[in-house]
Amino acid sequence: GAVVSQHPSWVICKSGTSVKIECRSLDFQATTMFWYRQFPKQSLMLMATSNEGSKATYEQGVEKDKFLINHASLTLSTLTVTSAHPEDSSFYICSAGGTSVFGEQYFGPGTRLTVT
């Protein structure tokens, strides 16, 4: 149980275009989903927290107009990188929180974005 999927697992896009990454909780309802960014050989940096049906809460320094997050249902959240630039190239990981009051998160396998 507690499986989270991400799609695509790997994407290459041209500078100036937008790309959407999907995060799905497959066997549980995720009230809250988190989006992280990870640079090579570094830790995970929380970008934003999204709750189903409401606007995402972005961490300081994260551009909300560039990284659009939508959490339209209890099983799906999307991250859209708008007008992508090479510096947006990174590994993006989502996680989903279930109904546990102790705050466990279940992580997706990640999406590697390369902007050329």
Partner 1 sequence: AQSVTQPDIHITVSEGASLELRCNYSYGATPYLFWYVQSPGQGLQLLLKYFSGDTLVQGIKGFEAEFKRSQSSFNLRKPSVHWSDAAEYFCAVGASTGTASKLTFGTGTRLQVTL
Q: List residues binding partner 1 (CB under 8 A).
A: 4, 6, 30-32, 34, 41-44, 46, 49, 91, 93, 95-110, 112
> Which CB, 24 or 97, lies closer to partner 1?
97
> Which CB, 60 or 87, lies closer to partner 1?
60
Residue pair 103/34 in contact (Cβ under 8 Å)? The answer is: no
> Which CB, 22 or 82, lies closer to partner 1?
22
Q: What is the dihedral of CA 43, 19, 87, 72, to 10 degrees?
A: -50
Residue 90 is encoded by which pair of tokens? 């990174």
Q: How near is the Cβ of 16 to partner 1 at its closest, in Å?
A: 27
Residue pair 3/25 in contact (Cβ under 8 Å)? The answer is: yes
Q: How near is the Cβ of 11 to partner 1 at its closest, in Å?
A: 14
Q: How near is the Cβ of 10 to partner 1 at its closest, in Å?
A: 9
> Which CB, 82 or 91, lies closer to partner 1?
91
Q: How near is the Cβ of 102 to partner 1 at its closest, in Å?
A: 5
Q: CA separation (Å) from 24 to 30, 48, 59, 83?
A: 9, 16, 22, 24
Rounded CA gap, 80 and 96, in Å?
17
